[in-house]
């Protein structure tokens, strides 16, 4: 028998509140969660959600309720129009199953103290708040209590085993169907699971399970209610991303989960949640949770060896490319228990990677080891039902199951046409996995060739520029050498010219002396001497100009000393000859004047 209700330890209560609500919760948000599990007047097994927020608990409970109503209980039937007592029985079975899947050593059922009802009524007399009813009107008779008083009236009943849990839930079912019943069941789940265990499973232990500002439940809370584990992700198994281990769904669950966020590429829902054991799915939009279900069990399949092999293969495919490296083949075969001998692994590697690309695709691996495994038969035509607990979101503000028909047109590339109540939605999966892989390989090769050509052109342009610079430097060096050789040739030419000039001046001097000696002999000789002196002056001016040129050339040749020692010696000789010539001329003039 369950332990009678006891008051929660203050420290445990504080830890529970912080785990659920964070550092605080608005009274308006808390009030939206303060409803019980109430059935609709228009659908015997459909639960009502008065306001936004508690769908994170109500929708999973509705899904498990439908599971027992359709497939599990002895009273299960395709007819959901049942009596109130039978609907309550389905609710009890659903709540019990959700608690049992926590797989804990003990279970705790949380209820309110008997004095709560009186306190709630007295508290509500001083409150002007009201709550929207199913039809959209307000219900002023519904009791309200602030969160502090609510937590002070909590009582827990400990159950040692499953039998005690079942008996306790049946006994306390009225607590869950009355006001605050959703919160009481939520607190029962959290305390039964254990606060520390939940913190170990969630991705961020400091993140609250319910947003205290807006009131929506986290993915960890949804997974806790669907699978019994408060993981934060919806993919299959655990993944290692950048060295960080990210936990996912470990096995096929009874209730599935689909989300609009996957269509928007914000998350990835794994096979375990997409293909549950029962054809019941939670549908998640940006702000609300609803339920989609069918009475046709043939649209879901149990996990097979093929599915297990694909999941293990995807664990080695960290990037989700549809292929793995050949270096991972040995570990993959060992994980699947398909053989670990090195010779066998080499044979399989050569067969699956015959083109030596260094990769093994999922399709080729599955074709090699699971050729007979294929998709199981699925009916092409079946009926589905959709549940939305918010009355204002339902047709005519009536919470009931909306019926639709789905027709599958399966072709080679799995084009799916879904017809639901004259509305056609086309999902086109235009590329198969193998085509995607081959296209990826083709694009990789194309990009490699393109980058190689681009790199070659870049190197060619670089070499062309380098060759252009080299040619420019070669031309510059040629011009420089030409200038140098020209200067040398000019120096030699001037030196020869000066030598001839020296000889000419010597002859002229000799003639001048002869004329001076003959001046007294003849006027002709006088005129000859005069002309000779004029020529001498002209030659002197030429000589000074030659000296200036020689000086310029000598400076140029001095700068060219670092190029060639030979040039330096040559310039020095020219200067020496020039100076000697100058001295000779000077002495000649001096001698002539003295005469």
pLDDT at 131: 40
> Which of 116-130, 170-184, 200-214 is the most confident on average?
170-184
Report the SS3 class of residue 112.
strand
Average pLDDT, the chain: 80
Give the pairing of strands 131-132 and 38-39: unpaired
pLDDT at 294: 92
Least confident of 27-36, 310-319, 531-540, 562-571: 562-571
| Cβ-proximal residues to 28 (8 Å cutoff; 6+ apart), any chain | none
pLDDT at 491: 79
pLDDT at 305: 78
pTM above 0.75, yes or no: no
In angstroms, what CA-CA distances link 397 with 49, 58, 284, 391?
A: 12, 18, 21, 5
CA distance 49 to 389: 5
* 3-state percent breakdown (helix, strand, coil) of the chain, nearest 5: 55, 15, 30
| Cβ-proximal residues to 154 (8 Å cutoff; 6+ apart), any chain | 7, 8, 13, 110, 111, 112, 113, 187
Burial of 519 (0-12, 13-18, 19+ CB in 10 A): middle
Q: Detail the DSSP E strand segments found in 27-173.
A: 38-39, 47-48, 107-112, 131-132, 138-139, 154-159
Supply the DSSP string of 415-477, one letter for each residue: EEEEEETTEEEEEE--S-HHHHHHHHHHHHHHHHHHHHHHHHHHHHHHHHHHHHHHHHHHHHH
Q: What is the pLDDT of residues 287-331, one digit of tens each?
A: 899 999 998 888 888 777 787 788 788 878 877 778 888 888 888
Q: Which two tokens stand for residue 177?
A: 């169907």
pLDDT at 589: 86
Q: What is the pLDDT of residues 208-248, one digit of tens each?
A: 999 888 889 999 999 999 999 999 999 888 887 777 888 88
Region 32-50 average pLDDT: 93
First to last CA, the chain: 159
| Cβ-proximal residues to 179 (8 Å cutoff; 6+ apart), any chain | 34, 35, 36, 120, 142, 143
CA distance 440 to 34: 53
Q: Which residue, 400, 416, 406, is CA-closest to 384?
A: 406
Q: Which two tokens stand for residue 1?
A: 């028998």
Query: Using 50, 70 and 90 to split pLDDT, how confident is the model at 422?
Result: very low
CA distance 278 to 293: 9
More confidently predicted of 72 and 391: 391
Q: Does position 433 have pLDDT exceeding 60, yes or no?
A: no
Dihedral angle over CA of 259, 261, 266, 269, nearest 10: 10
Q: How many CB atoms lie within 10 A of CB 568?
A: 15
CA distance 14 to 152: 11
Q: Does position 33 have pLDDT exceeding 70, yes or no?
A: yes
Q: Does position 177 have pLDDT exceeding 90, yes or no?
A: yes
Q: How many CB atoms lie within 10 A of CB 323?
A: 23
Q: Which residue, 327, 348, 336, is CA-closest to 373?
A: 336
261: left (phi over 0), alpha (psi -120 to 50) or beta: alpha
pLDDT at 35: 93
Q: Which two tokens stand for residue 509?
A: 């001097």
Region 196-201 average pLDDT: 92
Q: Does position 164 have pLDDT exceeding 50, yes or no?
A: yes
Annotated active-site positions, please?
55, 288
Question: What are the contacts of 527-532 at 24+ separation with CB within 8 A?
Answer: 532/508
pLDDT at 561: 61
CA distance 546 to 540: 9
Report the SS3 class of residue 284.
strand
pLDDT at 421: 36
Q: What is the pLDDT of residues 346-368, one digit of tens each?
A: 888 888 888 888 888 988 888 88
pLDDT at 557: 67
Q: Does position 546 have pLDDT exceeding 50, yes or no?
A: yes
Alpha-helical segments (H) within 232-328 = 260-263, 271-274, 305-316
Region 251-267 average pLDDT: 90
DSSP 216: P
In angstroms, what CA-CA distances link 467 with 197, 416, 419, 461, 462?
A: 72, 62, 70, 10, 9
Q: Does position 129 have pLDDT exceeding 50, yes or no?
A: no
Q: What is the pLDDT of residues 501-531, one digit of tens each?
A: 878 888 878 887 777 676 667 677 667 777 8
Q: Which residue, 225, 222, 252, is CA-closest to 236?
A: 252
Alpha-helical segments (H) within 147-194 = 147-152, 162-171, 173-177, 181-193
Region 260-279 average pLDDT: 88
pLDDT at 493: 81
More confidently predicted of 184 and 310: 184
Query: Using 50, 70 and 90 to split pLDDT, how confident is the model at 98?
Result: very high
Length of the chain counted residue by residue? 595
Least confident of 388-402, 422-436, 462-476, 577-591: 422-436
Query: Using 50, 70 and 90 to split pLDDT, how confident is the model at 76?
Result: low
pLDDT at 442: 66
Q: What is the pLDDT of residues 439-483, one digit of tens each?
A: 557 666 777 787 778 777 778 777 878 777 877 777 877 787 777
Q: Does position 132 have pLDDT exceeding 50, yes or no?
A: no
| Cβ-proximal residues to 571 (8 Å cutoff; 6+ apart), any chain | 491, 553, 554, 557, 558, 560
Q: Does position 432 have pLDDT exceeding 50, yes or no?
A: no
Residues 362 and 378 sit within 8 Å (Cβ to Cβ): no
């Amino acid at each position: 028998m369950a332990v009678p209700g006891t008051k929660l330890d203050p420290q445990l209560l504080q830890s529970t509140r912080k785990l659920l609500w964070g550092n605080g919760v608005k009274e308006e948000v808390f009030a939206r969660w303060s409803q019980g599990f109430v059935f609709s007047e228009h659908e015997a097994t459909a639960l009502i959600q008065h306001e936004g927020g508690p769908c994170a608990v109500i929708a999973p409970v509705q899904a498990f309720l439908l599971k027992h109503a359709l497939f599990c209980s002895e009273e299960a039937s395709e007819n959901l129009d049942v009596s109130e007592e039978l609907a309550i029985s389905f609710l009890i079975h659903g709540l019990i199953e959700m608690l049992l899947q926590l797989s804990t050593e003990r279970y705790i059922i949380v209820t309110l103290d008997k004095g709560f009802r009186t306190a709630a009524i007295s508290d509500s007399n001083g409150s002007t708040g009201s709550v929207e009813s199913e039809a959209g009107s307000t219900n002023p008779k519904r009791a309200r209590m602030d969160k502090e008083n609510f937590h002070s009236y909590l009582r827990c009943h400990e159950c040692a085993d499953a039998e005690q849990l079942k008996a306790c839930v049946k006994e306390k079912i009225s607590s869950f169907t009355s006001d605050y019943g959703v919160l009481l069941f939520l607190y029962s789940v959290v305390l039964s699971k254990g606060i520390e265990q939940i913190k170990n499973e969630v991705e961020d232990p400091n993140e609250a399970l319910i947003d205290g500002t807006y009131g929506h439940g986290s993915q960890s809370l949804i997974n806790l209610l669907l699978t019994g584990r408060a993981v934060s992700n919806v993919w299959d198994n655990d993944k290692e991303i950048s060295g960080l281990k990210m936990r996912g769904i470990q096995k096929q669950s009874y209730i599935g989960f689909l989300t609009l966020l996957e269509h928007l590429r914000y998350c990835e829902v794994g096979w375990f949640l997409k293909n549950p054991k029962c054809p019941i799915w939670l549908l998640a939009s940006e702000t609300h949770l609803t339920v989609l279900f069918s009475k046709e069990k043939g649209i879901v399949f149990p996990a097979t060896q093929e599915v297990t092999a694909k999941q293990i293969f995807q664990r080695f495919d960290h990037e989700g490319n549809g292929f793995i490296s050949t270096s991972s083949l040995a570990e993959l075969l060992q994980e699947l228990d398909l053989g670990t001998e090195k010779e066998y692994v080499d044979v399989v590697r050569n067969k699956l990677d015959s083109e030596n690309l260094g990769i093994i695709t999922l399709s080729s691996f599955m074709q090699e080891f699971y050729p007979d495994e294929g998709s199981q038969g699925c009916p092409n035509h079946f009926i589905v039902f959709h549940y939305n607990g918010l009355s204002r979101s339902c047709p005519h503000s009536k919470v009931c199951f909306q019926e639709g028909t789905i027709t599958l047109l399966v072709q080679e590339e799995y084009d799916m046409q879904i017809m639901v109540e004259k509305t056609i939605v086309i999902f086109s999966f235009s590329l198969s996995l193998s085509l995607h892989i081959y296209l990826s390989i083709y694009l990789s090769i194309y990009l490699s060739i393109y980058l190689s050509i681009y790199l070659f052109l870049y190197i060619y342009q670089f070499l062309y520029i380098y060759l252009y610079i080299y040619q420019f430097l070669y031309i510059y060096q040629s011009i420089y050498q030409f200038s140098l050789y020209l200067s040398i040739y000019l120096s030699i030419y001037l030196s020869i010219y000066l030598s001839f000039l020296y000889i000419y001046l010597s002859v002229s001097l000799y003639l001048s002396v002869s004329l001076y000696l003959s001046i007294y002999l003849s006027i002709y000789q006088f005129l000859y001497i005069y002309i000779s002196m004029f020529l001498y002056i002209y030659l002197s001016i030429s000589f000074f100009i030659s000296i200036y040129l020689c000086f310029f050339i000598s400076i140029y040749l001095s700068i060219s000393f670092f190029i060639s020692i030979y040039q330096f010696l040559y310039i020095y000789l020219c200067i020496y000859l020039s100076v000697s010539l100058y001295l000779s001329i000077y002495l000649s003039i001096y001698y002539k004047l003295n005469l």
